[in-house]
């Protein structure tokens, strides 16, 4: 298994440009999510999905769009890049166990290697 | 979400045990304690989790205080590869969505 893969590894954008960060997993996980990590800080949740066709907002969703047309893929779109979106972006996936069972049966999340984005 | 408090950084010698503390005085009776770590330039990875009893796995041990207001992640013999940021996270099992709320974590430095 490749696990969680993210492309590209690095990207430089100009203010106002749009782009899509790709995330794919081959573990048949229903749950997928996107986090951003600013220097010296922990990860913050942007958007998440509990299955194909279902997405929801996390802590910092503004400026980002997501869709989930397949179980495997969960792309993150930046509509009009801003310097404040300079960050490292991580995608994660896990089984979507019912509330309560996720913790009993571990339900660990698997993270991708990240995409380092710079917006000038 | 209940909050956790961790030291900003800790230092250890290689081959020695490391005890990483986490305070969570507002933990609810059903919150699970999860630990993840993030190696340099990588995404976080799961380490261990528990509810009330101490837990062991191949990576580490988790010691949970009897009142559950604190816990300690124990690396039995630190190696250079264990240098990472360690995150202590509380998860409400009734939360639908597998969300993890990360704090700043503890930076562990391992000296050879």
CB B49 within 8 A of CB B102: no
User: How deeply is B110 buried, as exposed, middle or buried, from its count of CB atoms within 10 A (0-12, 13-18, 19+)?
Assistant: buried
CB A96 within 8 A of CB A110: no
Query: Which residues from chain B sit within 8 angstroms of residue A109, using beta carbons?
Result: 44, 46, 98, 100
Region A15-28: mean pLDDT is: 97
CB B7 within 8 A of CB B106: yes
Please write the tens of the pLDDT for every residue from A51-88: 999 999 999 999 999 999 999 999 999 999 999 999 99
Say whether pLDDT at B99 is over 90. Answer: no
**A26: closest CA among A115, A112, A114?**
A112
Q: What is the pLDDT of residue B76?
A: 94
Q: What is the pLDDT of residue B2?
A: 63
CB contact under 8 A, A111 and B100: no
> ω into residue A8 within 30 of 0, thus cis?
yes
Comparing CB atoms, the residue among A103, A107, A113 nearest residue B43 is A113
Please, what is the average pLDDT of chain B?
A: 92
B91: contact with A, CB 8 A cutoff: yes
Q: What is the pLDDT of residue B101?
A: 87
Say whether pLDDT at A6 is over 90. Answer: yes
The model's confidence at residue B91, banded by pLDDT at 50, 70 and 90, is confident
CB contact under 8 A, B44 and A33: no
B53: contact with A, CB 8 A cutoff: no
Comparing CB atoms, the residue among B43, B49, B98 nearest residue A111 is B43
**% of chain B residues with pLDDT over 90:** 77
| Nearest C-alpha in A relative to B91 | A103
CB pairs under 8 A between A and B: 73
Rounded CA-CA distance B81/A85 in Å is 31
B103: contact with A, CB 8 A cutoff: yes
Q: What is the pLDDT of residue B97?
A: 61
Q: Out of A14-23, B21-30, B95-104, pick the least confident.
A: B95-104
Region A104-115: mean pLDDT is: 86
Which tokens is B83 given? 């240098």
């Amino acid at each position: 298994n490749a696990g969680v893969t993210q492309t590209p590894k690095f990207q430089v954008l100009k203010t106002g440009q749009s782009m899509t960060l790709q995330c794919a997993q081959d573990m048949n996980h229903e749950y997928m999510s996107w986090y951003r990590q600013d220097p010296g800080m922990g990860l913050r949740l942007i958007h998440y999905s509990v299955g194909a066709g279902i997405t929801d907002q996390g802590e910092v969703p503004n400026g980002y769009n997501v869709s989930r047309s397949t179980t495997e893929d969960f792309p993150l779109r930046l509509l009009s890049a801003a310097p404040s979106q300079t960050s490292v972006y991580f995608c994660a996936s896990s089984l979507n166990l019912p509330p309560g069972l996720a913790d009993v049966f571990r339900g660990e999340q698997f993270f991708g290697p990240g995409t380092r984005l710079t917006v000038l | 979400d209940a909050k956790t408090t961790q030291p900003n950084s800790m230092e250890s010698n290689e081959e020695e045990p490391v005890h990483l503390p986490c305070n969570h005085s507002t933990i609810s009776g059903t919150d699970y304690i999860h630990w993840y770590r993030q190696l340099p330039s990588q995404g976080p990875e799961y380490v261990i989790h528990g509810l009330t009893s101490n837990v062991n796995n191949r990576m580490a041990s988790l010691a949970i205080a009897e009142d559950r207001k604190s816990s300690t992640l124990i690396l039995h013999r630190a190696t250079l590869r264990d240098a990472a940021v360690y995150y202590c996270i509380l998860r409400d099992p009734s939360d639908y969505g597998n969300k993890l709320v990360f704090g700043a974590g503890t930076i562990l430095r391992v000296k050879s």
